[in-house]
Amino acid sequence: MDRLRLLLHSRHWLLLASLALVALALGSAMFSGASFTSKSANKASFVAGSVQLSSTKPNQAVVSATAMKPGESRSGTITIGNEGDVTGTVSLNATGLSGTALAAVIDFKLEDITGGVTTQKWSGKLGAFTGVSLGNFAVDEKREYRLTLSWSSAANEAALQGTSSSLTFQWSGVSWSGV
């Protein structure tokens, strides 16, 4: 029994017991809770599709009305297509109108004549035309249009002799969201 008392009062035993308790505390603290983290990064690239219009008459007059007289009509045709990679809404707009007196008497008619079926898209005085939506064109879709200018024989005022009128037709397409 003396030995046991000696051992319990020994400083080595206290040091050893203290180290054991510290090791036990550190072990519990280090391994008591687990925390896992994972990170991942993904890059995303986006390229917007586009509507690319084609025309059978690029930068050319669709209708020639040179030397037109009261009682005459002139017409011309053009094919417009979407060569882009997305569906697009196509429209025809007019800009730069000059010669408004003559444009006020000239009748303008725009017809879709695709596939032999005629659908009127716009009709009225040339001077009143500002633009019209022609609907959605799928990728590689082509449509044929007839543009007709008519001068009524009743509009034969002498003041219109020698006058002229001009405007620029602009075909445009924007990608369609489908919403």
Give yes or no: residues 59 and 128 share one domain.
yes
The predicted structure's pLDDT at residue 29? 47
Q: pLDDT tens digits, residue range 84-129?
A: 999 999 999 999 999 899 999 999 999 999 999 999 999 999 999 9
Rounded to two decimals, the pTM is: 0.72
- Residue-wise pLDDT tens digits, 122-175: 999 999 999 999 999 999 999 999 999 999 999 989 899 889 988 899 999 998
Does some domain include residue 41?
no
**Between residues 71 and 37, the one the model is more confident about:** 71
Q: Can you read off the two tokens belonging to residue 58?
A: 């690029």
Range of the domain at 8: 2-27
* Judgement on whether residues 75 and 15 belong to the same structural domain of the protein: no
pLDDT band at 41, cuts 50/70/90?
A: low
Q: What is the pLDDT of residue 25?
A: 46
**Same domain for 88 and 16:** no
| 119-125: strand order across its sheet | 53-55, 73-82, 142-151, 106-112, 119-125
Are both 63 and 118 inside the same structural domain? Answer: yes
pLDDT band for 64, please (50, 70, 90 cuts): confident
The reply to whether 39 falls in a domain is: no
User: Could you tell me if residue 7 is inside a domain?
Assistant: yes
Q: Are residues 86 and 169 in the same domain?
A: yes
- 15 and 96 housed in the same domain: no
User: Domain of 169: which CATH number?
Assistant: 2.60.40
Q: Phi first, then psi: what are they for 48, rounded to 5°?
A: -75, 140
Give me the pLDDT at residue 21, please.
Answer: 45
Whether 9 and 61 map to the same domain: the answer is no
Q: What is the mean pLDDT of the chain?
A: 82
Burial status of residue 38 (CB atoms within 10 A of its CB: 0-12, 13-18, 19 or more): exposed
Q: What three-state secondary structure class fits 128? A: helix
Question: For 95, phi and psi rounded to 5 degrees?
Answer: -135, 160
For residues 68 and 18, state if they share a domain. Answer: no
Same domain, yes or no: 23 and 57: no
Which sign does the torsion angle of CA 18, 24, 30, 33 carry?
negative
Count of the separate structural domains present in the chain:
2
Question: How is the beta sheet containing 166-175 ordered, strand by strand?
Answer: 131-137, 88-98, 166-175
